[in-house]
Amino acid sequence: MKKILYTFLSLMIALMGLVSCSDDQTYAEQKDKERNAVDAFLKRDVTIVGPNGDTICNVGVINVISEQQFYKQDSTTNLDRNEYVLFSNSGIYMQIIRKGVGEKIAKGHTRQIACRFIEFNILGDSLQLRSDVSYWHTNPDILAVTNTSGTFSASFITGDQAGPMYQTYGEEKVLDGWLAPFPYIRVGRQTTPDGEIAKVRLIVPHTAGQSNAASNVYPCFYEILYQECRD
């Protein structure tokens, strides 16, 4: 049932993308439209709501800081000022809500990480996917993440364990946007009341996004929880 549902959702997302690009815009025009949408999103005080009108996430007005400022702050973003760091090379914006428990992924190591997330289409102003609900409790997206000399790569676990991201977009390679936090967060499991797992928010341009975003040139907002899988 889950596979049937997410195949349908995948087709709907693809259709929406085709419609959005049906006015023969050039790629340069599409990129301008994407940049304008992100600029507006930063200033809009957005609240993301679910299909029943429930509040999922209040994004707020975003205060962008440089990478230099981010590193001066010990690779943190000030939550009271709602800071997001902009990585200029990739165009990804990141807010670290919690750095998490456990350890960072060491160089030369691969670890399996479960992700629960919401995906919001900034250009379409719409919630596309979410796995932070009971329906997906037993099937989060699982990433096999490798640190190769400080460069992170990852693939989704497929088959019966596949989560909604893989089932919807069908890409085994993990989008670059989801890898951006790994140099800065710890990935473990919550073992104490105060030991909460890593949580980040991201604004991901189409160049670092999933296949539909890449094809149709739109940016996405993500809120993601990263947790190490059990042995």
pLDDT tens readout for residues 165-190: 999 999 999 999 999 999 999 999 98
How much of the chain, in percent, has pLDDT values that exceed 90? 78
pLDDT digits (tens, 9 = 90+) for 216-227: 999 999 999 999
Specify the pLDDT at position 91. Answer: 98
End-to-end CA distance of the chain: 28
Which of 9-23, 46-60, 71-85, 147-161 is least confident? 9-23
Confidence (pTM):
0.89
Domain boundaries, the chain: 2-228
Residue found under tokens 């995948």: 10
Instruction: For residue 44, count CB atoms less than 10 angstroms from its CB and return exposed for 0-12, middle for 13-18, buried for 19 or more.
Output: middle
Q: Does domain 2-228 have CATH number 3.10.50.40?
A: yes
